[in-house]
Chains A and B, each alone.
Chain A
Amino acid sequence: MAEILVKNGYVIDPAQKIDGDVADVAIRDDKIVESVSSGARVIDARGKVVMAGALDVHAHVAGPKVNVGRLFRPEDKLFKSPEAQPNYRVEMGFSVPSTFKTGYDYARMGYAFVMEAAMPPLHSPHVHEEIHDTPIIDQAALPVFANNWFVLEYLKKGEIENSAAYVAWLIRATKGYGIKLVNPGGTEAWGWGLNCLKLDDPVPFFDVTPAEIITGLMKTNEYLGLPHSIHIHQNSLGDPGNYTVTLDSLKLAKGMKAKNKFGRTQVMHSTHLQFHSYGGDSWANFESKAKDVMNYVNQQKNITIDLGCVTLDETTTMTADGPFEHHLNALNHLKWANTDVELETAAGVVPYIYDKDIKVCGIQWAIGLELGLFTKDCMRTFITTDHPNAGPFFRYPRVIKWLMSQKAREATLETFKHRDKVIDATEIHGIDRELTLYEIAQMTRAGPAKALGLAGMYGSLAPGMDANVAVFNLDYKKMPSNPEKIEQAFQRALWFIKSGEIVVKDGEITSHGNKRTLWVNAKVKENPQVVRDIHEKFIKDYTVNLDNYPVRDYLAPNPFVIDVDVEA
């Protein structure tokens, strides 16, 4: 029995409405408890901020397209990889770090859980192999559904029950967590080099529209009562003027109610909203529509979002939105990788440089932050960079700095070559809001935990929660006047205790911890038609046999399985 007492820190725990009270956090084994014995190891947190371990609701950290990004970009390693810590694995890569560096860097920032945001089902053994090699952090992965032939066929006929039976089977087979949608219908169209840019653009041959796919999968999700809602990357990502498509798809959630036993209240999570909040009709008159989009999000309580903030780095874009990557490649002419996946999805990968001296990049930077600053509900607004698409995940501390400090935002704005044009096309310059530590904790802890249906385990320091506790070098009562100190504090936790084990001390890794893979075991009653359909498609269309398709248990050696029983 191991006991730890984190003593006298400024505790910030929105789930318990605690904002900076000086208190102790007691840990026994892998849980937070009311109190511990006098023999507990004491960590002195006096004058420091104490928060629960953070959750990343959306990052691309494991799987085929991530690995394409690593493989085809040796330049992402050269002079950009830190020296390995003695006795730990080497840490290679910048925008697409190796699995080891990924686990270490998240832990150094006090993250306990990371959601891999897009798992191509056929490649799910690969995703789990990488998760297996990512130390410390707990992980789950969202299989992609919105271009899957089974789903397109069921939804075209409005067969929600069949869709649900298939989705449940696939989530089980891939050891996945929920329902991801990427460019609904558009990625299947990309199989022919086409796209669906509007919600009523029918998918070639399948003759179902993006709107029908979104609504159908939303219903499927609530029919199953999954811990997370549908998680959607909308159509027309990255296009000037796309905010109308964004609003149209958000409106599809209207009137829908969350049905689950996990405490989740949203029916739609709209991801990396920055890429979807664009006005204008060309790159020349490109402008922010963050305010319009957030006005809608603020009033529509059954939606959650994450930001997808641009961090102004050289990075590697990667998405199951195959046509978007092809389009992006036509703009920047760098190398282009693509992987279309039979019956299921696609993926594209293109390096990208968000140059602070390019007007559009500056505007994108502003939009991501505006979304966070215009929010009226930090419990529904989460910090991400859509890693690595808008920037690498280890820039979260920088994003937090920008959100917490107008001075920091202005300082960055000052460095832009097209400062005035960026100011004209956005509202960032006029915003004096500075988010508080409490709000940051909502956006990185309590909020995402609730949206993922994991509020009973993560995101809080209440007794009974998993013992994930981070101590940061910040004085709640005397926040630094230099915003750089905020970034530094969140970059490297003083202490991070993950599942009751000290894994970081003074910003350095001290243990490989004991990571877990979370997956959802959704059980529906036997559906003979869907079973038949699955067998038939594997015989006729797939090139892998059905028996070899489901991820074998040994590939996820530390599973945490969430059972969902659907009574018909």
Chain B
Amino acid sequence: MPKIVTDVGCPYCGASCDDLEILVSDDGKKILEVYNACAIGNEVFHHASSPDRLKRPRLRQPDGTYQEISYDEAVDYTAKVLLKAKKPLIYGFGSTNCEAMSAVGRVAEKSGAVLDNCASICHGPSFLAIFDNGYPSCTLGEVKNRADVVVFWGCNPMHAHPRHTSRYSIFPRGFFTEKGQRQRKMISIDPRETETAKLADIHLMVQQGHDYELFDAFRTVLRGHDIPDEVAGIRKEAILEAAGIMKNARFGMIFFGMGCTHTDGRNHNVDIAISLTRDLNTVAKYSIMAMRGHYNIAGPGQVWSWQFGFPYCIDLTKGTHAHMNPGETSSIDLAMRDEVDAFINIGTDAGAHFPIDAVKHLRKHPFITIDPNICMASEISDLHIPVAVVGVEEAGVVYRMDNVPIQFKKVVDPPEGVISDEQLFDRVYLRICELTETEPTWIPAKGHAKAPVTAGQ
């Protein structure tokens, strides 16, 4: 009899839905059906079950082909690469669990590496703004239960976070929002007429690259001053109308996406968005939230902040300190300046996302990809280490876009012999200790097994 696993987390987008139900084959090995997920989430689970998954690491040969090697050999190779390099870069972490992010912290510190995550190329500007201006935010349940005005600025959840509007922001009926969508005003600010914009009560088609001016206009109006007849391509009356709705909220919410961080103004757009939120808090209750892309891309920002004090761009090469200075210690900048002499790509695809010149520089040195699947990065790597798919074959903590930790489950076993990211990094760490003849230090104790839930039931 196939069995249903309930309350499963979806390892895809930053909505990190944890209500999926998965029908698993009799022998517990194969995923048959996926319920509750959106189309993308569905695909993630079915993809994991595909028969042509890699089961062993592959090392590039002098003739350019890949040859299978053992995990021990891959661990040894990785440890030696990290020790030999002066400035190795370990980058990615959009798609793995916090246990792996913690384990890699130990490795990076021991080997003196730079540690960075995908925020470096997506919400990095948001971090810069948060460093300057703070982050008045809330959990998504607050939006569900209280919000009566919801603004989507430079983001398109209908496409990028398909269940965001139904689970959290627009449609759900919450404690103080029994009428659901009918009780909420929705504003979309986007230069394109996206699916989200079509759903909105008001769509302000801001002129591409002029977001800062429009934010500024809102602040000006809310403070009771006049604005020109048109700002950022929007008529004054439309701005006044939207500002009126925002001001009259009981609980307002501003979601922003890469449309703010990756257009003219970048961190300044986020900075003024935060200032607008602060202003609005003098007349109503307001929160702001970054629409984080991947299901656990908020994770490294959390784990590394408690370990090193910084969310990203962490240079540990000095050995005695962690140092963060985006622009100097950020992955792309390091790669463009050709300062990196070994590269580990984990849980992302730098091959697809980095500028071609950065990739060219990185390719001159040892290049390792850790990923369950074949991707562009794995195809240009010297070593590809396949790992278990987190959320499908490996449990663990992930941080949703609102920084709420969700304990993801394991649904099926990974292919025979395939290990997790965490196990891999722990083995690399032990190998580094062996090679440097030093004692490993575990905090506080090692050897715990991931146990099922017992407390609170």
Once A550-B456, A554-B451 are accepted as A-B contacts, the answer to whether A72 and B130 lie under 8 Å apart by CB is yes
Select which of B6, B131, B457 is within 8 A of A72 by beta carbon. B131
Once A81-B321, A98-B308, A132-B444 are accepted as A-B contacts, the answer to whether A548 and B316 lie under 8 Å apart by CB is no
In angstroms, Cα B405 to Cα A544, docked, is 10
Chain A residues lying within 8 Å of B146, measured Cβ to Cβ, are 191-192
Chain A residues lying within 8 Å of B445, measured Cβ to Cβ, are 514-515, 557-558
Q: Which A98-116 residues sit within 8 Å CB-CB of chain B?
A: 98-100, 103
- The interface bits of chain B over 439-457 (1 if a CB of A lies within 8 angstroms of the residue's CB, else 0) are 1011111001111111111
User: Chain A residue with minimal CB distance to B319?
Assistant: A84
- The interface bits of chain B over 168-184 (1 if a CB of A lies within 8 angstroms of the residue's CB, else 0) are 10000111100000000
Chain B residues lying within 8 Å of A74, measured Cβ to Cβ, are 131, 309-310, 324
Q: Does B207 contact A (CB under 8 A)?
A: no
- The interface bits of chain B over 74-101 (1 if a CB of A lies within 8 angstroms of the residue's CB, else 0) are 0000000000000000000000001000
Select which of B19, B175, B306, B406 is within 8 A of A540 by beta carbon. B175
Contact call B321/A192, Cβ cutoff below 8 A: no
Chain A residues lying within 8 Å of B444, measured Cβ to Cβ, are 132, 134-136, 512-515, 557-558
Select which of A66, A172, A340, A545 is within 8 A of B455 by beta carbon. A172
Select which of B306, B403, B457 is within 8 A of A130 by beta carbon. B306
Contact call A343/B308, Cβ cutoff below 8 A: no
Total of A-B residue pairs, C-beta within 8 Å: 244
Contact call A336/B136, Cβ cutoff below 8 A: yes
In angstroms, Cα B116 to Cα A455, docked, is 45
Chain A residues lying within 8 Å of B137, measured Cβ to Cβ, are 337-340
Chain B residues lying within 8 Å of A343, measured Cβ to Cβ, are 141, 145, 175
In angstroms, Cα B449 to Cα A122, docked, is 23
Chain B residues lying within 8 Å of A334, measured Cβ to Cβ, are 134
In angstroms, Cα B144 to Cα A558, docked, is 36
Q: Does B322 contact A (CB under 8 A)?
A: yes
Contact call B138/A339, Cβ cutoff below 8 A: yes
Shortest distance between the CB of B391 and any CB in chain A (Å): 12
The segment from B189-197, B238-246, B277-285 that touches chain A is B277-285
In angstroms, Cα B36 to Cα A562, docked, is 39
Contact call A126/B302, Cβ cutoff below 8 A: yes
Select which of B287, B316, B407 is within 8 A of A90 by beta carbon. B316
Shortest distance between the CB of A435 and any CB in chain B (Å): 34
Q: Does B140 contact A (CB under 8 A)?
A: yes
Q: Does A296 contact B (CB under 8 A)?
A: no
Shortest distance between the CB of A476 and any CB in chain B (Å): 34
Select which of A70, A134, A512, A552 is within 8 A of B451 by beta carbon. A552
Chain B residues lying within 8 Å of A77, measured Cβ to Cβ, are 309-310, 322, 324
Q: Does A87 contact B (CB under 8 A)?
A: yes
- The interface bits of chain A over 125-143 (1 if a CB of B lies within 8 angstroms of the residue's CB, else 0) are 1100110111110000000
Q: Does B250 contact A (CB under 8 A)?
A: yes
Q: Which B248-262 residues sit within 8 Å CB-CB of chain A?
A: 250-251
Shortest distance between the CB of B304 and any CB in chain A (Å): 9
In angstroms, Cα B21 to Cα A545, docked, is 12
Contact call A550/B139, Cβ cutoff below 8 A: no
Chain A residues lying within 8 Å of B449, measured Cβ to Cβ, are 554
Select which of B9, B131, B168, B442 is within 8 A of A548 by beta carbon. B9
Shortest distance between the CB of A563 and any CB in chain B (Å): 13
Shortest distance between the CB of B390 and any CB in chain A (Å): 15
In angstroms, Cα B142 to Cα A546, docked, is 17
- The interface bits of chain A over 160-184 (1 if a CB of B lies within 8 angstroms of the residue's CB, else 0) are 0000000001001111000000000
Contact call B139/A340, Cβ cutoff below 8 A: yes
Select which of A99, A123, A191, A192 is within 8 A of B405 by beta carbon. A123
Contact call B321/A83, Cβ cutoff below 8 A: yes
Contact call A342/B145, Cβ cutoff below 8 A: yes
Q: Which A309-333 residues sit within 8 Å CB-CB of chain B?
A: 326, 329
Q: Does A284 contact B (CB under 8 A)?
A: no
Contact call A549/B456, Cβ cutoff below 8 A: yes
Shortest distance between the CB of A330 and any CB in chain B (Å): 8
In angstroms, Cα B127 to Cα A241, docked, is 38
Q: Does B67 contact A (CB under 8 A)?
A: no
Contact call A335/B7, Cβ cutoff below 8 A: no
Between B137, B316, B405, the greatest number of chain A beta carbons within 10 A of the residue's beta carbon is seen for B405
In angstroms, Cα B324 to Cα A336, docked, is 21
Chain B residues lying within 8 Å of A83, measured Cβ to Cβ, are 320-321
Q: Does B305 contact A (CB under 8 A)?
A: yes
Contact call B306/A192, Cβ cutoff below 8 A: no
Select which of A172, A340, A349, A551 is within 8 A of B138 by beta carbon. A340
In angstroms, Cα B439 to Cα A514, docked, is 16
Contact call B141/A342, Cβ cutoff below 8 A: yes
Once A125-B405, A551-B455 are accepted as A-B contacts, the answer to whether A67 and B141 lie under 8 Å apart by CB is no
Shortest distance between the CB of A228 and any CB in chain B (Å): 19
Select which of A70, A174, A543, A554 is within 8 A of B305 by beta carbon. A70
Contact call B167/A543, Cβ cutoff below 8 A: yes
Once A71-B311, A89-B443, A550-B453 are accepted as A-B contacts, the answer to whether A544 and B302 lie under 8 Å apart by CB is no
In angstroms, Cα B438 to Cα A555, docked, is 27
Q: Does B133 contact A (CB under 8 A)?
A: yes
Q: Does A238 contact B (CB under 8 A)?
A: no
Q: Does B397 contact A (CB under 8 A)?
A: yes
Contact call B307/A98, Cβ cutoff below 8 A: yes
Chain A residues lying within 8 Å of B145, measured Cβ to Cβ, are 342-343, 541
User: Chain B residue with minimal CB distance to A92?
Assistant: B309
Shortest distance between the CB of B242 and any CB in chain A (Å): 20
Q: Which B315-348 residues sit within 8 Å CB-CB of chain A?
A: 316, 319-322, 324
User: Chain B residue with minimal CB distance to A559?
Assistant: B455
- The interface bits of chain B over 287-309 (1 if a CB of A lies within 8 angstroms of the residue's CB, else 0) are 10000000000000111011111
In angstroms, Cα B410 to Cα A552, docked, is 13
Select which of A84, A541, A554 is within 8 A of B448 by beta carbon. A554
In angstroms, Cα B442 to Cα A136, docked, is 11
Contact call B322/A337, Cβ cutoff below 8 A: no
Chain B residues lying within 8 Å of A552, measured Cβ to Cβ, are 407, 450-453, 455
Select which of B18, B138, B407 is within 8 A of A125 by beta carbon. B407
User: Chain B residue with minimal CB distance to A547?
Assistant: B7
Q: Which B327-386 residues sit within 8 Å CB-CB of chain A?
A: none
In angstroms, Cα B402 to Cα A126, docked, is 13
Once A74-B324, A88-B441, A193-B284 are accepted as A-B contacts, the answer to whether A125 and B397 lie under 8 Å apart by CB is yes
Chain A residues lying within 8 Å of B407, measured Cβ to Cβ, are 125, 548, 551-552, 555
Contact call B251/A326, Cβ cutoff below 8 A: no
Closest 7 CB pairs of A and B: A342-B141, A173-B456, A550-B456, A335-B134, A340-B138, A193-B285, A92-B309
- Show 26 residue pairs from A and B whose CB-CB distance is below 8 angstroms, ordered by the A residue: A68-B135, A70-B306, A83-B320, A89-B307, A96-B309, A123-B405, A126-B403, A129-B397, A132-B444, A172-B456, A174-B456, A191-B251, A329-B134, A337-B134, A340-B138, A342-B138, A342-B141, A342-B145, A343-B141, A512-B444, A541-B175, A543-B404, A544-B141, A548-B407, A551-B456, A554-B448
